[in-house]
Amino acid sequence: MKPLLCLTLIWTFCLVMLGAYVRLSDAGLGCPDWPGCYGQLVAPDEAHEIAQASADFGRDMRGEIEPAKGWKEMIHRYFAGGLGLLVLAACCLLWKKYPNLSRISILLPLAVIVFQALLGMWTVTMKLMPIVVTAHLLGGMTLLALLTWLSSQALLKSQLPSQLRPILIISLIAIVLQIVLGGWVSTNYAALACNGFPACQGSFAAPAGLSEAMQPIRQLGQAATGESLTIHHLAAIHWLHRLGALLLLICISALIWQLRKASPSWAGLIAAALLLQISLGISNVWFDLPLPLAVAHNGGAAILLMLVVAALAQVLPAQNIAQAPSPLSLSPNGRGGKIAPSSQF
């Protein structure tokens, strides 16, 4: 189980990064259909394939079919399919080998995978509707958090004092809210709407149009009334993300302060992840959102989420999920007597 969980966790993290790359490189609609690409399982890049795609979709597609963007989207879908197989294998083994593990906790990652596939389809069919794309991002982060929880119980042995549980939960909530805000910035293409730091458009006050910009049910680039969003609407979205970053900084700093004596290693890891994420966020503004830094900013959020979830898993009491004997759990006499059940994966 340990190698499989590690592989699945690493694969999920890479898929989150790949999804961010596809979105930020403006390739989210590189394939206008789902699950194929212009009616086939590979992106059309030959002249005859482009001509066939134009004929099949019933309109002149010259100048619109971009093979490079199509391949980015299809590679993302291939990786998503591979992750589905990995998660299915891991859940089947958990179901078989650990009968005391909650059936819901085993099925939950599979349910997230299915919902993610639906969100991926709706992302295309609804033409990058911001609420759908943001939900797709959150689904990937949710799956990453679930797998981190399972993997930390399998791989990590240290235990953190129970007094840390409240601040860890508060920090986790703050991270999730900030990921939502960050996703809303990205899916509305508002990352460059504030042309300065720390002020936004020369002011620390909220730009006009925040309520309209935060309406969830609307099309990309439009308000709920159908009018086009202005730069002030986009700046308001970005301003709210910065406010969330300030609140997150306060929460994570309090967590690090409480962790410093209980576990300096955990405190150091979370502090490094926080510093990295803040640096990436500021750098994206100063350097006009270069693609590598923008993708890395998504990865920094994922790393911070994983660290806090893993730390929380070390505080909460572990379930006794295993009844199967472990080959390393020998009797006290060390002579291969009765094998004791292990509580670890």
Supply the residues annotated as catalytic.
Answer: 73
d(CA 180, CA 190): 14
**Integer CA distances (angstroms), 237 to 189, 205, 220, 301, in order:** 10, 12, 13, 18
User: What SS3 state is found at 341?
Assistant: strand
DSSP E strands in the chain: the ranges are none
Is the torsion defined by CA of 28, 33, 38, 40 positive or negative?
A: positive
**Residue 309, class by beta-carbon neighbours within 10 Å (0-12 exposed, 13-18 middle, 19+ buried)?**
buried
Q: By C-alpha distance, which of 69, 78, 63, 64 is closest to 22?
A: 69
Whether the ω angle into residue 198 lies within 30 degrees of 0, i.e. cis, is yes
- For 335, phi then psi, to 5°, come to -110, 20
User: What SS3 state is found at 200?
Assistant: strand
d(CA 258, CA 170): 13
